[in-house]
Amino acid sequence: MINQSLSKIINDFFKAVEAKDLNAVLDYFHIEAELLDPHYPNVHMKGHDEIRDGLTWGFNSVKKFNFTEENYFENENNSSAAVEMATKIELSGGKKLSYTQFFILETKQGKIIRCQAYETYGPHGMHNISLKISRLIKKLIHFYPGKINY
């Protein structure tokens, strides 16, 4: 059964992010909260000061946030939830992005103690290049069986 108050807290939290209301967003976080999001320069932010710094950077980098809930799941004791969001962002420079994100949110004393974002797109940098090469080799082996040793 979904706890209406936890669902409302999470819904209102994302509305505050969309409004870029820094103080309102911080009010949803427990004083010992952690925010983990690979989109930020500091991927793992701990406590209000680090979260404030990260959100300030994010709110300056993004002109407009839009989150549409696709799926919502709560744990048995109604203290944590997983949310799938259709995310649309317009960056300050005008570029528009659209992707799916998953968030795990844990609460303590009615406040968010941990919010972790997971993206559905793959890795970047050297890891991405390595994966692409490995996948290409696998395809070549499939098309040319016995001819390529890997």
The Cα–Cα gap between 138 and 142 comes to 6
* 13, 87: one domain: yes
* 89, 146: one domain: no
Look at residues 121, 64, 119, 52 and name the one whose alpha carbon lies nearest to residue 93.
64
- Model confidence pTM above 0.75: yes
* 92, 127: one domain: no
* 9, 24: one domain: yes
Give the tens place of pLDDT for each residue, 70-112. 999 999 989 999 999 999 999 999 999 999 999 999 999 899 9
State the total domains in the chain: 2
State which residues form the domain around 19: 4-119
Beta bridge partners of 44: 36
* 78, 139: one domain: no
* 135, 104: one domain: no
Sign of the alpha-carbon dihedral angle for 90, 93, 94, 96: negative
* 17, 77: one domain: yes
Give the tens place of pLDDT for each residue, 36-73. 998 888 899 999 999 999 999 999 999 999 999 999 99
* 81, 133: one domain: no
Compute CA distances 13 → 20, 94, 117, 126, whole Å.
11, 25, 14, 35
